[in-house]
Chains A and B, each alone.
Chain A
Amino acid sequence: MTWFDTLLQILKGNKVRLIAHVPDNVLTPLINAVAADNYFVSVGATREDEAVGTATGAYMAGLRSAVLMQTSGFALIANALASLVVPYQIPAILVISERGTLGEFNIGQTLVARTMRPTLDALGIVHHTLTDQSTLRFILDSSIKQAFTTQTPVAFILSPLLTGGNPAAHAHLI
């Protein structure tokens, strides 16, 4: 089973139905699968903080939700996390495709990637870097359950070690 099949299965198993997303190459099969499956409400947002807002509204109205984004998009959501998700105790499920490391050609991506974990740490948001299939299911399922039970957000960082990274980015390396 691919990493995105596992992720989809665990989202379903935890009744996470609204998926708000901003495009990313690595996330493409996941986004396409969500859009093709009537179980999910797929919301293509124009910005990542917008996606966080919609996911928050859905959760508060009884529909569990998750947000898909890439590393650079995470840099847009610090304020939404600090003034909405964390203080209002929203169990936001943040799935972040990691760029900027392990074969990145774009210096901007390498720099913005370094702001991600310090931002999550500063806000006290639990984050897991997912690197391999053998631990993927356990980390995802237990952490999503923990997020909803304890009313706290969680971030899953999808490492290129798990996903193979962005083929377009690799193609630019010399």
Chain B
Amino acid sequence: MTGERTTVATLNRTALTRRLVERLKHDEAVIGGIGNANFDLIAAGHRAQNFYMLGSMGLACPIALGVALAQPQRGVIALEGDGSMLMMLGSLATIANMRPANLTIIIWDNGIYQITGKQATATGGVTDIVALARGAGFPRAEWVRDEAHFDILIDRRFEAGGPVLLAAKIDDKPGKGRQARDPPLIRRRFMEGLGASRD
């Protein structure tokens, strides 16, 4: 492990997700990546603007990009694990080039594929996800230093233009919530939450 990741505090995804949701006051869309990102989003309390993935590993950021482009006036947040992000690194380049000012990506980086047996990810080695985002062309990509810093980064995420990527180094604890398992219902509630009609 190298760079800034070694100097930031190790935080907890469940606690940070709760802090995040408490700070959402404008019906922001939140896209939960598969597994623990989703479980903790559910544990923080269902919101009409939450979308829960069931499979399609790596697609939280591409889905969030589509939402952000469709509704440029709405804040959109993708919650993604380091393993899932590593599977879809190209999407960072796409997002940086599309420049959706309303999109924030939050990476929960524990350096492991927690849910499949705690195998090491590349970010548990020498790879720095924030540096990757900067290299992809993100105007702003930062490590979360501690919980207070997380609050500030969330509250001020639109100040320097977007898109923004925030990465939090987290512990190896599993998520608290349960998996949502009704895809048509998830989709329909999400669309209603965003005021999007079928027609």
Contacts and interface: CB of A to CB of B under 8 A. Distances in A.
Interface of A: 18, 20, 41, 43-47, 49-63, 65, 79-80, 82-84, 87-90, 148, 151
A90 to B, nearest CB: 7
Interface string B44-59: 0000000101111111
Interface size range on B against A: 35 or more
Contact of B65 (A57, A62, A90): A57
Contacts of A60: 51, 63, 66-67, 187, 190-191, 194, 196
Nearest to A47: B90
A83 B67 contact: no
Nearest to A50: B62
A88 B183 contact: yes
Identify the interface centre among A52, A57, A83: most chain B CB within 10 Å of its CB. Answer: A57
16 contacts: A43-B65, A43-B69, A46-B90, A47-B88, A50-B59, A53-B63, A53-B65, A54-B94, A57-B63, A57-B67, A60-B63, A61-B66, A63-B66, A87-B184, A89-B183, A148-B198
Interface in B150-183: 183
Given A58-B69, A89-B187, A90-B187, 19 more contacts: A43-B66, A44-B97, A45-B91, A47-B88, A53-B65, A54-B69, A56-B59, A57-B65, A58-B70, A60-B66, A60-B190, A61-B70, A79-B57, A82-B55, A83-B54, A84-B63, A87-B183, A88-B186, A88-B187
B199 interface: yes
